[in-house]
Chain A
Amino acid sequence: MLLKLIPDNTHIPFMKIRSFAYVVSLLLILASAALFFSRGLNLGIDFIGGSTIEILTPEPANIGNIRALLEKLDLGDVSVQEFGEPRDVLIRFQEQPGGEEAQKEAQIRVENALQTNIEGVSIRSTSFIGPKVSSELARDGILAVSLSVAAVLVYIWFRFEWQFGLGAVIALVHDVLLTVGFFSITQLDFNLSIIAAILTIVGYSLNDTVVVYDRVRENMRKYRKMPLPELIDRSINDTLSRTVMTSLTTLIALFALYFFGGPVIQGFTAAMIWGIVIGTYSSIFIASPVLILLHLRSTAFIGDEKDQDSDQDGDGNLTKVPAP
């Protein structure tokens, strides 16, 4: 007997609650924007410059003492926090006025202060990002995310009707915005690897959306008279067990990484987990109903006369059909 998470023939009326989903998503996006502008992101040194030093102390570290010790050095904003376990401490301080030279000099002062005042401390890693490099990394990050959204729009447009391309991109922008909101509310360190996470979320969410869209397109040929909401519901239900299976296996792998992969990639994994959940939600509740909003009509694929019949004998002709 095999495990069945999703029964074979589900008929869940997803489109009935689409207005509700729109409202929820709109509220979440507004909340993300509000958080982004009020609270902002906890930008890492990759993007604003500065230094981090990770140390390992022989005893559980006294965060307060370390903070007091470093505040005496007069470096402006210094953050000291536990990193993964009580003996592991991550110290971060902002960019020092005076450019690269001043920053490095400050870093050496911090290293020396730690080594003379905490017995047996070992420095596990240090990073220093100068102002020039950090602004380049920020620019490249924004460029990479925007270009990937644009490239995907072009690809889907080329493979499907324009409504699909636009729908997929609306879902992607939705996912990216909510991920930014997630980082604003959790104040997790927003660094270079988070850009990697966002791009992977873009890829994953799209993967999900494309699977549903492919089925919508196929069903449009099969059931020409079916009203769009019903047709979309049917497509989502057809692909539902695949959607759930893939999301679950990916989440299993990610949770293993989150709990056992060490603190360095925890932020990255957290972003991915959030992104998988959001991406799955958005392909069902945003990408699909948006097709209705964009007035995709079942007639979009008319012109391929033999489709209905040829599908019956298993010839799933899913290549693009020129629009009339």
Chain B
Amino acid sequence: MLDFPPWKIAFVLLISFIGMLAALPNLLSDEQVAALPGFLPSSKLTLGLDLQGGSHMLLEVDSDAVVAEQMVNLEAQIRDALRAQRILASIEPQGRSIHVRVRDETQRADALSVIRDQAVPVGDGQGFGGVLSRNIEVETEDNGLITATLTEAAIRSRISGAVEQSLEIVRRRVDEMGTREPTIQRQGADRILVQVPGLQDSQQLRSLLETTAKLTFHMVNAQGDPNRPPPGFMSLPSQDTGEILVLERRARLTGENLVDASVGFDESSRPVVNFRFDSTGGRRFADITRENVNRRFAIVLDDVIISAPNIQEPILGGAGRIFGNFTVEGANNLAILLRAGALPAPLTIMEERTVGPDLGKDSIEAGEIAGLLGLSFVVLFIFVTYGWFGLAANVALMVNIALILGALSTLGATLTLPGIAGIVLTIGMAVDANVLVFERIKEEAIAGRGPMRAVEAGYQQALSTILDANITTFIAAFLLFQFGSGPVRGFAVTLGIGIITSVFTALLLTRLFLVIWLRRRRPQRLPI
């Protein structure tokens, strides 16, 4: 175990050297890092949100709403298809099925084939290669009832589509906020994780994410009774005046026709939102305004009327503005929402953690102080206990810390506060392998072996113990990584990396030091 061929020495020193180089950028300022030659590693540790401050939000797509909308669409589709064939039937939704009863028994076969024609193949939302299934299952019963049921595959595929679409819209909205390096990713079947570092105010993010932003334009029925809207009409509250207005249920235009929205100011310097339609929308907007001069036109966002201006004259340019008693911030948020588009279904915030930048800074400072103090005491303690052997272990410990920082920087792992705790803990535990070996060497020396033989036997005997002990701890770290979330995962990562690097430094680096020392000095007695 004591023969160290040159290639092995080179390997151990090279790994240590690379580790230290990779850790180096963390000690330098950003300008110094930028000035480093290109062949040197330049990535710094990524700080977790708990250290640099920021917001973490876990959102869930409302899948019930997605399914409900899917049912409404299916019902309308079947109704239209039957009407086109002049088949009279009663159609009603029941759970996830549409129940159809044909009035005239002779048309039943026709109805059945019309409904069967509505079925289209869908992907099952689980990627390629799956067996294609149909979106609806059509069955008929003896009593004349025809049922069309949404399949699981159809629902899964629709929800998956809604999550993808929401992901894109959330990304656009967060990007519009002008924050740096947000993380937006899908999690599981129906969740979206949003992490925005360095955010001061989580309330704006919260309101941007929770607004569906479904924009619709409706004509107002000035004669309608808000308490009893006539069929085809609905009553909605108005945000700016507080009155309740009766509107046509049918939207004349929707946000889908918008191409741009921005904040502007009216004549008395109140903030407004300017918007522009695409060509179809512009044409339709011109028609509506031409036909309805002197009537009120309501702009509705998520079932609340933002404003309901009177149409003074036809608006032909395809552009308009919303006056809504806004604050500048409110107008800005609405413009962002309109530009980014509507979410396909409401999002609910399931979990939110926000840390202010000051607290993050304090945590880093506290972690550094604790780390340095812990390190100094451990180093001192090891030195007074093991003397020159201890010195070798201490140098290996420093290299070990550099390796951990270097590995974390290179892997792009995130350093969290529990992660710092993991490093400090590793400082305490890393010496364990060295201690095992040293104690073994001491025993062998006491048993009467010469220095060379004692060191060799010490390493040999301690090897399997070191491996067993570290593999078991590694299992715990691995499971923690699998089941943990957020900062706890950061802890698992540092613990796991720390185990690998401390086994490396104890088994190879410290041994290299000892072997070089033994070869040079050829001592008669071990100073241990």
- Which residues of A approach B to under 8 Å, CB–CB? 2-5, 8-9, 54, 56, 100-101, 104, 108, 122-130, 132-133, 137, 140-141, 143-144, 147-148, 151-152, 155-156, 159, 192-193, 195-196, 199-200, 202-204, 206-207, 210-211, 214-215, 218, 238-239, 241-242, 245-246, 248-257, 259-262, 264-265, 268-269, 272, 314-316, 318-319
Contacts and interface: CB of A to CB of B under 8 A. Distances in A.
B354 A246 contact: no
Contacts of B444: 314
B381 A193 contact: no
B464 to A, nearest CB: 4
Contact of B427 (A195, A206, A253): A253
A265 B352 CA distance: 19
A255 B362 CA distance: 19
B468 A210 contact: yes
Given A100-B348, A127-B354, A207-B473, A242 B436 contact: yes
> Interface majority SS on A: helix, strand, loop or mixed?
helix
Nearest to B386: A2
B480 A211 contact: no
Interface stretch (B17-25, B30-38, B335-343, B363-371): B363-371
A200 B485 contact: no
Given A5-B385, A124-B359, A193-B491, A210 B472 contact: yes
19 contacts: A2-B385, A104-B349, A130-B348, A130-B349, A133-B58, A144-B482, A148-B476, A196-B491, A203-B474, A206-B473, A245-B439, A246-B435, A253-B374, A254-B374, A254-B424, A257-B370, A257-B374, A269-B421, A314-B453
Contact of B488 (A126, A192, A242, A249): A192
Nearest to B53: A125
> Interface majority SS on B: helix, strand, loop or mixed?
helix
A130 B460 contact: no
Contact of B417 (A127, A207, A264): A264
B203 interface: yes
B476 A250 contact: no
Contact of A210 (B203, B356, B370, B469): B469
Contact of A316 (B381, B427, B461): B461
B90 to A, nearest CB: 36
A257 B457 CA distance: 36
Given A151-B475, A314-B457, A239 B439 contact: yes
By CB atoms of chain B within 10 A, which of A147, A152, A249, A316 has the most?
A: A249
CB-CB nearest 6 A-B residue pairs: A253-B428, A256-B374, A262-B366, A250-B428, A203-B473, A316-B461
B472 A155 contact: yes
A246 B488 contact: no
A249 B349 contact: no
A207 B68 CA distance: 55
B479 interface: yes
A56 B429 CA distance: 35
B483 interface: yes
A206 B381 contact: no
Given A130-B349, A207-B473, 17 more contacts: A4-B385, A128-B353, A151-B475, A193-B487, A195-B484, A199-B479, A200-B495, A241-B439, A245-B431, A246-B435, A251-B428, A254-B374, A261-B366, A262-B370, A264-B417, A314-B461, A316-B460
A2 B387 contact: yes
Given A148-B475, A253-B374, A265-B418, A214 B485 contact: no
B325 interface: no
B446 interface: yes
B256 interface: no
Nearest to A240: B439
Contacts of A133: 58, 350-351
A207 B470 CA distance: 7
Given A207-B473, A241-B439, A261-B421, A104 B206 contact: yes
B16 to A, nearest CB: 21
B110 to A, nearest CB: 47
Contacts of A207: 429, 432, 469-470, 472-473
B73 interface: no
B442 interface: yes
A215 to B, nearest CB: 8
Contact of B425 (A54, A193, A195, A254): A254
A260 B355 contact: no
B378 A249 contact: yes
Contact of B468 (A100, A200, A214, A315): A214
Nearest to B372: A256
Contacts of B474: 203
Nearest to A8: B446
B352 to A, nearest CB: 4
Interface string B406-442: 0000000000011011001101110110011001001
A22 B431 CA distance: 31
A9 B349 CA distance: 62
A261 B371 CA distance: 8
B495 to A, nearest CB: 7
B456 interface: yes
A245 B436 CA distance: 9
A254 B428 contact: yes
A149 B479 CA distance: 10
A304 B356 CA distance: 63
Contacts of A159: 468
